[in-house]
Every structure is written in C-alpha cells, then in structure tokens.
Amino acid sequence: MNAMIQIDQVRKRFGRARVLDGVSFDVLAGQSIALWGSNGAGKTTLIRCLLGLIDFEGSIRVAGLDVRREGKRVRRLLGYVPQELAFYDDFRVIEAARYIARIRGADAGDCEPGLQSLGLLDHARKRVRELSGGMKQRLALAVALLNDPPVLVLDEPTSNLDSAGRGSLMELLVGLKAAGKTILFISHRPEEVRGLADRVLTLESGRVVTDVATTRLHLAGDALAADRLDQFDEVFSTDALEDRLEQVAIVSGHGIRRFA
C-alpha cells in the first residue's frame, strides 16, 4: 500500500464537544480526496490536525512521517491553501512570495516563475490587500507550491470566489492533480468534487460515514447522487451501512446531499 497520508483513529475534543471521533482513512500517492459534510462535521478540524495546528489523539502520518513528532518535516511536504488567505495585507505580492519561499526553504528565484504560472506576475508589485478574492487564492496556491510539495491540502479553496474564479482555480487544481500531486480538499460544491476527487469521504459528527468513489456518483442538480441503492451498497463502507441502513435508503433517493 502506497499511502501518502495515513489517518488512524483520530479523535479530538473541544471541551465536552467531540469534534472528531475515530476518523481513519488513507490517501494514496497521486490520489485526490474530497472531504464532504455539513458545517461542524469536523472537516476543518481534521485538516488542522494534519497541519499540526492542534493536538489530537490517534495518529496521522504523511509519507510515513508522524505529524506530531516531525511536524516541520511533514509540513514541508504539504502545500496548504486556506479558505481565505490570512496574510499580511501590507506585503507586496512578490514580498509575500519571497517571505514564504524563505520559510519553506525554496529558492527565492522560484517566486517569479511561480507567480507567472498562476497569472500573478503582473500584480507582483500590488499589496496583498489590493488583490481580489480570486487573486488571493491564486497567491495562496502559488506560495503553497513554492517548494514543489507532493501533497496539497485545500480548505474550501473556492468558497469565496465567483463563478469565473472558481472555474479558473479548479482548472489549475485539475492540472496539478494530473501532474501527480496528492490532494486532500474540503468542498461543498458537487461539481468540484466530481471534477477533482477520486473519492469522497462524508464526515458527520466527527465520523467518516461514507467513502465513495466519485466514478460511482453523478451530478443531480446541485447534489451528488447514485442511481440505485445497490450502488450505495457497493461504495458505502459496510459498517456505516449497517448502522445507517434506513438513512442510506433515504439518501439513495436524494443523493448524498442528505449528508451535506
């Protein structure tokens, strides 16, 4: 098994609230996984655990390296794109890229080609606060790619973008996937999941309730759907199915939007 990311029995509590409750799954090298689920399901918390931003129980390994023991080394393998780039607004775009390049141990000379590849070189002298939402996300992606990390972690990267911005960013991400990047991303948009993911993991109340290959799903309006219950039989994990047989039956009529 060639797992780039191994998440094993990850648990996280905030006070009394159990946010992650034994989440386990693997992401193979070169694979793209979508995390799907309603707000509060634990998706962002899981990504924060992966990045080593919060402590957790269980184990997360990236390329065989333990996130807790070798956090810096793991983060060097990860390119992170947040929902909204929280960066120093008074930095110029090129300064921001050089700053992150130094931190990521990338060559400062890679910044300009990196910005160029994402259409930002003409804006290099602008301050970050002057960029549109779409350009900020492009900048976040540009700096995430500076040291050519094998894994991209994206937390709703298109949520603040207009339709054109979404389309253009997704095009870039599909290209990166084709170039061999392993991608773990959160999305609430079925068309993005269909376009980019190989598998969709649905989180509910901190647990993975479904693990579905996207080839089994198709777009049904604004939802992802499978046509027949037997397809869900094949693609849903059996444990989840046993626990949730009734709900799955309901879900089969309405697509997995039921879980979103």
Partner 1 sequence: MIAPATREFRFADGAAARRHAVFVSTSPREPWISPRTVLSLARKELRDSLRNRWFVTYTAAFAVLAIGLAYLSRVGTAMSGFAGFGATAASLVNLVLLIVPLMALTIGAASIAPERERGTLAYLLAQPIGRTELFLAKFVGLAGALVGSLAVGFGLSALTLARGADPRQVRLFLTLVVLAMLLALAMLSVGMLISVLARRSAAATGAAIMAWLVIVFVGDLGLMGSAVLFRLRASSLLLASLANPAQCFKIAVIGSYDPTLDLLGPAGLYASNTFGATGLPVVLIGCLAAWVVLPLVLAAACFGRRPL
Name the site residues for partner 1 (rule: CB under 8 A): 1-2, 4, 28-31, 48, 51-55, 63-64, 70-73, 75-78, 80, 82, 84-88, 90, 99-100, 102-105, 148, 150, 178-180, 198
Residue type, 112: E
Closer by beta carbon to partner 1, 32 or else 252 = 32
The least CB distance from residue 149 to partner 1, in Å, is: 8
Between 54 and 245, name the residue whose CB sits nearer to partner 1: 54
Q: Which residue number, 64 or 109, has a Cβ lying nearer to partner 1?
A: 64
Q: Provide, rounded to whole angstroms, the least separation between the CB of residue 218 and partner 1.
A: 21
Strand, helix or coil for residue 21: strand
- Give the integer Cα–Cα distance in Å for 23 and 35: 12
Q: Is the dihedral of CA 109, 176, 85, 151 positive or negative?
A: negative
CA distances from 226 to 48, 85, 258 (A): 31, 35, 12
Measured CA to CA, the distance from residue 65 to residue 116 in angstroms comes to 32
Which of 17/164 has CB closer to partner 1?
17
Comparison of 180 and 253: residue with beta carbon closer to partner 1: 180
**Token output for 148:** 């050519």
User: Which residue, 87 or 185, has its beta carbon nearer to partner 1?
Assistant: 87
Residue 255 CB, shortest distance to partner 1, in Å, is 26
CB 251, min distance to partner 1, A:
28
Say how many C-beta atoms besides its own lie within 10 A of residue 45's C-beta: 21
Shortest gap between Cβ of 141 and partner 1 (angstroms)?
A: 13
Specify the residue, 7 or 225, whose C-beta has the smaller distance to partner 1.
7
55, 189, 80: which is closest to 139 by C-alpha?
A: 80
DSSP string, 67-98: TTTSHHHHHHHEEEE-SS----TTSBHHHHHH
CB–CB of 67/142 below 8 Å? no
Residue 134 CB, shortest distance to partner 1, in Å, is 18
Write out the two tokens for 72: 């810096």
Please, what is the minimum distance in Å from the beta carbon of residue 198 to partner 1? 7
Closest C-alpha among 258, 257, 234, 119 to residue 246 = 258
